[in-house]
Amino acid sequence: MIDAQYRTLPDAAHTFDAGFSFGGIAAFYMGWGFDETFSRVGVQSVGTAGTFPYFSRIVDDPKPSTRFYFDSAGAGEPVVFAQALSYRDDLLSREQGPFVLERDLRYFAGELEGHVRTAAGSRLPEMLSFLYPASEETPECYDGVDNDGDGSIDYVPGARDNDPDCTSALDPSEEE
């Protein structure tokens, strides 16, 4: 509908979706199931989603190409907060293609923040700077090349050839 009315870039690379609380669950659903439409998704202040099938499928489904940002608010709700952390860990440890922090997943823990829109709004820079960074040049720590010739490649924690000088997959230099 929006694409029909306005001059847009309608391809997946330029289409994202984000939501708060239940809206975040809906956004997650769209990013997980429809990566041909949405390339990036923001999921804010979730954690009570244990009974939703899309959150239980993250362990077994094939990995979508979507880049995800998600955050959680923990103030007064330690159980919900712990649940959100377990979703993050599920995504990072998937056998069917793990996510890598700061490459295709950013997680922000609002441990002392409440489950309210103003707090979620204050986290928008965390979301947007990851989903749509100002530069899309491939960082040295994520290009599959041993850029500095020290025999180790990229940011792949746990891999034998992980370059120890890479602090994240977004690190632009493999050098010390």
Enumerate binding residues for Ca ion (CB under 5 A). 140, 143, 145-148, 150, 152, 154, 163, 165, 174
Q: Which CB, 36 or 150, lies closer to Ca ion? A: 150
Shortest separation between residue 174's beta carbon and Ca ion, angstroms: 4
Shortest separation between residue 151's beta carbon and Ca ion, angstroms: 7
Looking at the DSSP assignment, which residues form a beta bridge with residue 17? 41
DSSP string, 115-150: SSHHHHHHTHHHHHHHHS-S--SPPGGGSSS-TTSS
Q: Which CB, 152 or 168, lies closer to Ca ion? A: 152
Question: What's phi and psi for 175, nearest 5 deg?
Answer: -85, 160
Q: Which CB, 35 or 154, lies closer to Ca ion? A: 154
- Please, how many CA atoms are within 13 Å of residue 167, restricted to the half-sphere of its CB? 4
Shortest separation between residue 101's beta carbon and Ca ion, angstroms: 17
Instruction: Give the integer Cα–Cα distance in Å for 104 and 37.
Output: 16
Q: Which CB, 61 or 102, lies closer to Ca ion? A: 102
Degrees, nearest 5: CA angle 97-100-103:
120
Shortest separation between residue 68's beta carbon and Ca ion, angstroms: 23
DSSP string, 24-82: HHHHHHHHHH-TTT-SEEEEES----TT-HHHHGGGTSPPPS-EEEEEEE-TT-HHHHH
Q: Which CB, 50 or 164, lies closer to Ca ion? A: 164
Shortest separation between residue 102's beta carbon and Ca ion, angstroms: 14
